[in-house]
Amino acid sequence: MKIEDIKSIAVIGAGDMGHGIAEVALMAGYKVFLRDIKQEFVDKGVSRINQSLEKLVSKGKVEQGLFDRIRSELLVPCVELGDAVREADLVIEAVPEIMALKQETFGAMDKLAPAHTIFASNTSTMKITEIAAITKRPEKVIGLHYFNPAVLMKLVEVIRGEKSSAESMQIGYDFVLRNAKVPVRVEKDVAGFIVNRVQAPAGVLLNAILDEGKIQPEQIDAVMRSIGAPMGPYETMDYTGLDISYHGSLYFAKTIHPDFACGKVIQAKVEAGELGKKTGKGLFDWSNGRPEIDLSKATDQFDLMDLVVVNVNEATKIIAEGACKLEDIDLAIVNATGGMGPMALVKNIEPADMTKRLEGLAARWGKEIFKPTQMIKDGQYR
Ligand SMILES: NC(=O)c1ccc[n+]([C@@H]2O[C@H](COP(=O)([O-])OP(=O)(O)OC[C@H]3O[C@@H](n4cnc5c(N)ncnc54)[C@H](O)[C@@H]3O)[C@@H](O)[C@H]2O)c1
């Protein structure tokens, strides 16, 4: 099968991610069957798509003619799974992040979809191999990991499960290109794939600083804001939701290394229901909108490059595992976040300095995961 054979798509789950993934495929002219478990959930997904498309039409980014076609024929809302997948050449699953639910969904789709249909999961963390194992077509199962909001963020990670075929990977890659997005291949389904995995150690360091309590979140965010970043790291944690950070920590601690365990401050916040922006309070107070960050509070006790070097160190681990190539790291992170890539930022730092810095951080914070890898010592990060 080739990309030209992919004509109809099914998106399973019409929530935050599903409706956005569907919208992107519709904008590329694909017929999209959008399924959720209740009519009201599908209707909500459809209305979110229509509202977003209306804005894009008014800005001249989508043609009125395409929007009319989307409403009259291209977008097909469904509640029955069979109705959604029966005609689909590619299915993208975006149901909640619960393995049993994903497996149940893939098992049912396997029986209802045509034999040629490729299945993709938008999971942020789970192993594609484990999801694929429930089907009789593991070679046709891949990961297509979009970023939130899917309409805006350019990156889609195209993930190979242990049994995914080269043909399925190629179709996934080409499909992402046809959706005007940037595909990056992840050749092994390592925990967190590229973007979430490479950025995780900075989260560990930020948690350690919080728990120590000597420097306050505002003091570090002020440093970041004073160099022109739109948001500091702690405000970003609040913005995304401290529960997301908490669950991510639990998963990484279990699957990669106990050092990824959630810090005490964040855990207490989550237990108190203070999840950040969505609850009005987290590390900052959001009751009157975005927190005011006083730039005069910027600390000189912390160097932002520490956040970068621990991430670069982690990047070398997944490169060594064969998940991706060095140049994919920045390509992925720049297109997922709109920020700068960590590899470009350390290009001029000598291996001996990187090594010393990471050894210092590992000792200072008691974190084995910060210890420099052989690739760092050998200068294989630039
Ligand atoms: N939100 C993010 O930032 C983000 C980013 C990348 C990937 N993801 C991943 O995308 C997936 C979906 O996350 P989300 O944020 O869109 O969640 P969400 O809760 O907003 O949406 C999930 C939708 O799936 C529906 N659903 C539940 N069971 C279903 C079933 N059996 N069939 C069809 N629909 C079903 C729910 O009713 C809901 O509308 C998860 O795997 C998540 O990890 C999320």
pLDDT at 13: 98
Determine how many CB atoms are found less than 10 A away from the CB of residue 137: 19
Per CATH, the homologous superfamily of domain 3-186 is NAD(P)-binding Rossmann-like Domain (3.40.50.720)
Mean residue pLDDT of the chain comes to 96
Return the minimum-mean-pLDDT range out of 46-55, 110-119, 224-233, 279-288: 224-233
Q: How far apart are CA 348 and CA 338, in angstroms?
A: 22
What fold characterizes domain 194-382?
N-(1-d-carboxylethyl)-l-norvaline Dehydrogenase; domain 2 (1.10.1040)
With a cut of 90, say whether residue 345 has pLDDT above it.
yes
Q: How far apart are CA 299 and CA 303, in angstroms?
A: 9
Active site residues: 124, 145, 157, 196
Query: 262, 250 in Cβ contact below 8 A?
Result: yes
**Ligand 1, atom nearest to 97 Cα:** 41
**Pocket mutation for ligand 1, best pick of 38, 124, 245 (most atoms within 8 Å of C-beta):** 124
Please give the C-alpha separations between residue 373 and each of 30, 321, 365, in angstroms, as whole numbers: 45, 12, 17
pLDDT at 128: 96
Residue 35, ligand 1, Cβ within 6 A = yes
pLDDT at 24: 98
Q: How far apart are CA 345 and CA 72, in angstroms?
A: 48
pLDDT at 244: 87
Count the alpha carbons within 13 Å of 82 in the hemisphere toward its beta carbon: 2
Determine how many CB atoms are found less than 10 A away from the CB of residue 323: 22
Sequence ranges of the domains in the chain: 3-186, 194-382
The label of the residue with tokens 């030209």 reads 4
| Residue 366 structure tokens | 């008691």
**Ligand 1, atom nearest to 93 Cα:** 11
pLDDT at 120: 98
Write out pLDDT tens, residues 32-60: 999 999 999 999 999 999 999 999 999 99
> Averaged over 337-356, what is the pLDDT?
95
Q: Which amino acid is at 138?
A: P
d(CA 104, ligand 1 centre) in Å: 14
With a cut of 90, say whether residue 125 has pLDDT above it.
no
Phi, psi of 114 (to 5 degrees): -60, 160
Q: How far apart are CA 116 and CA 277, in angstroms?
A: 43
Please give the C-alpha separations between residue 303 and each of 139, 200, 223, 300, in angstroms, as whole numbers: 46, 18, 9, 7
